[in-house]
């Protein structure tokens, strides 16, 4: 299979790139692949699938009609396992190959499992994919208590959902505030107060030091000595970029794929955006990962414009401030 534009990943960054490409180029072949057997969705909504507050069919970001109307080939259940920049092709887990002229890597991130003694041998859940949500929803049917490791967006969404289902919920966080990647201390305290009023207990600045399985439950022992037990243990302590399939590609990779202000990677005709991209900090030129939805949205938009429009992206985004405006 051959396509002009190939996007690996079907969430916010990939979709916004596709929208932008179609804004500037309505005819050239455009292909998106997703490793999951679902239409695109936002992982941040998954706790509401778990709680039953929302049905699966209501959370998809795009439907089949969108792809048809925009002449986008959307291939689900297709996992990229390698790329060959020299041959300009991507190898899939089923043995297939897709050739491209321009490639966007928007594979996002996957949960990190902290090196807490006993955790990997215990029964725990993560919540990043629809399959994760289905497994957790099933486990909740007979649960009365839950321990959540991590007070980020997914962790607090889960705490809300669990609490509304009547579970006793405890949240454990390494940092001294909830949502440390999103809000300052004052805003975080206001948010935490609402959760406390709903019966959620927080253990901040107090990370887990050991996890045990006891009589079908998970026991979490904290740094300050508290011992928490839950029928459910949800680990939402952070994410890492999905870059394993890029080994040997020659791409410059640190914590994520290093990109410039146009989301271009170190290799010609390859871009990256979203959670997988390591771009300039808002406060300077230091390359950082900022795995939050607003960044994924904007990076996808910039990448798509850059892929489709070349140098005109400079006119639309003059504030990017690059000295070298020659685009690949």
Q: What is the b/e burial string over 73-111, where b = at least 16 CB atoms within 10 angstroms of the residue's CB?
A: ebeeebbbebbebeebbbbbeeeeebebebbbbbbbbeb
Q: Which of 8, 3, 6 is nearest to 243 (CA)?
A: 8
- Among 59-73, 133-147, 212-226, 270-284, the minimum mean pLDDT is found in 270-284
Q: How far apart are CA 223 and CA 54, in angstroms?
A: 36
Residues 227 and 183 in one domain: yes
Query: Of 237, 269, 297, which residue constitutes the final position of a domain?
Result: 237
pLDDT attached to residue 319: 52
Q: What is the mean pLDDT of the chain?
A: 89
CATH of the domain at 284: 3.50.50.60
Residues 244 and 106 in one domain: yes
178 φ/ψ angles, rounded to the nearest 5 degrees: -80, 155
Q: How far apart are CA 144 and CA 110, in angstroms?
A: 27
Residues in a beta bridge with 3: 100
- Among 33-37, 45-49, 106-110, the minimum mean pLDDT is found in 45-49
Residues 8 and 102 in one domain: yes
Q: If you write DSSP's letter for every residue of 119-181 in order, what string do you get?
A: TTTS--B--SSHHHHHHHHHHGGG--EEEEE--SHHHHHHHHHHHHTT-EEEEE-SSSSSSTT
Q: Which own/partner contact pairs does 315-321 have at CB distance under 8 Å and 24+ positions apart?
A: 320/261, 320/262, 321/261
- Among 41-50, 64-73, 168-177, 239-248, the minimum mean pLDDT is found in 41-50
User: Whole-structure pTM over 0.85, yes or no?
Assistant: no
- Please count the structural domains in the chain: 2
Q: pLDDT by residue (tens digit) across 267-320?
A: 999 999 999 999 887 776 788 877 677 788 899 999 999 999 854 554 555 555
pLDDT attached to residue 218: 94
pLDDT attached to residue 15: 95
Share of the chain above pLDDT 90, in %: 70
Domain range enclosing 103: 2-37+76-110+240-320
Query: Of 168, 202, 237, which residue constitutes the final position of a domain?
Result: 237
pLDDT attached to residue 326: 42
Residues 222 and 246 in one domain: no
Query: Of 237, 260, 276, which residue constitutes the final position of a domain?
Result: 237
pLDDT attached to residue 324: 43
For the residues 239-244, what does the mean pLDDT come to? Answer: 90
Q: Which of 47, 51, 231, 237 is nearest to 147 (CA)?
A: 231
Q: Is the pLDDT of residue 100 over 60?
A: yes
Q: How far apart are CA 202 and CA 207, in angstroms?
A: 11
Residue 69 is assigned to a structural domain of this protein:
no
Secondary element (H or E) of residue 230: strand 227-230
For the residues 43-67, what does the mean pLDDT come to? Answer: 86
Residues 105 and 129 in one domain: no
The dihedral over CA atoms of 88, 92, 95, 98, expressed in degrees to the nearest 10, equals -40
Residue 67 is assigned to a structural domain of this protein:
no
Q: How far apart are CA 271 and CA 275, in angstroms?
A: 13
pLDDT attached to residue 328: 38
User: Where residue 325 falls among pLDDT bands split at 50, 70, 90?
Assistant: very low
pLDDT attached to residue 147: 97
pLDDT attached to residue 154: 87
pLDDT attached to residue 310: 55
Neighbours of 179 (CB within 10 A): 18
Cα–Cα distances (Å) from 323 to 293, 308, 318, in that order, read 28, 21, 11
Residues in a beta bridge with 105: 8, 272
Residue 128 is assigned to a structural domain of this protein:
yes
* Euclidean distance between the first and the last CA atom of the chain, given in angstroms as a whole number: 23
Residues 26 and 135 in one domain: no
Residues 157 and 269 in one domain: no
Cα–Cα distances (Å) from 34 to 8, 79, 87, 128, 134, in that order, read 6, 6, 22, 14, 18
Higher-pLDDT residue of 112, 204:
204
Most confident of 2-6, 136-140, 244-248: 2-6
Share of the chain above pLDDT 70, in %: 93
Residue 171 is assigned to a structural domain of this protein:
yes
CA angle 55, 59, 61 (to 5 degrees): 160
User: Where residue 323 falls among pLDDT bands split at 50, 70, 90?
Assistant: very low
């Amino acid at each position: 299979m051959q396509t002009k534009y190939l996007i690996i990943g079907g969430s916010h960054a990939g979709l916004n790139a596709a929208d932008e490409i179609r804004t500037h180029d309505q005819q050239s072949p455009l292909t998106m692949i997703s490793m999951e057997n679902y239409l695109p969705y936002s992982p941040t909504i998954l706790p509401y699938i778990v709680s039953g507050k929302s049905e699966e069919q209501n959370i998809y970001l795009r439907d089949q009609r969108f792809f048809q109307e925009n002449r986008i080939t959307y291939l689900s259940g297709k996992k990229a396992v390698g790329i060959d920049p020299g041959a300009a092709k991507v190898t899939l887990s089923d043995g297939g190959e897709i050739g491209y002229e321009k490639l966007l890597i928007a594979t996002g991130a996957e949960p990190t499992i902290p090196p807490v003694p006993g955790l990997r041998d215990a029964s725990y859940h993560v919540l990043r994919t629809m399959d994760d949500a289905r497994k957790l929803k099933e486990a909740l049917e007979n649960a009365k208590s839950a321990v959540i490791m991590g007070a980020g967006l997914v962790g607090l969404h889960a705490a809300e959902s669990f609490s509304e289902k009547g579970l006793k919920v405890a949240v454990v966080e390494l940092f001294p505030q909830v949502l440390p990647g999103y809000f300052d201390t004052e805003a975080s305290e206001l948010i935490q107060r609402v959760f406390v009023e709903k019966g959620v207990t927080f253990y901040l600045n107090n990370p887990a030091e050991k996890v045990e399985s006891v009589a079908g439950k998970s026991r979490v022992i904290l740094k300050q000595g508290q011992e928490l037990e839950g029928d459910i243990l949800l680990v939402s302590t952070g994410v890492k970029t999905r870059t394993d399939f890029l080994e040997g590609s020659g791409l410059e990779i640190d914590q994520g794929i290093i990109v410039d202000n146009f989301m271009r990677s170190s290799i010609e005709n390859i871009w990256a955006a979203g959670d997988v991209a390591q771009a300039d900090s808002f406060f300077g030129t230091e390359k950082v990962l900022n795995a939050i939805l607003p960044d994924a949205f904007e990076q996808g938009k910039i990448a798509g414009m850059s892929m489709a429009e070349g140098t005109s992206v400079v006119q639309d985004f003059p504030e990017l401030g690059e000295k070298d405006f020659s685009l690949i």
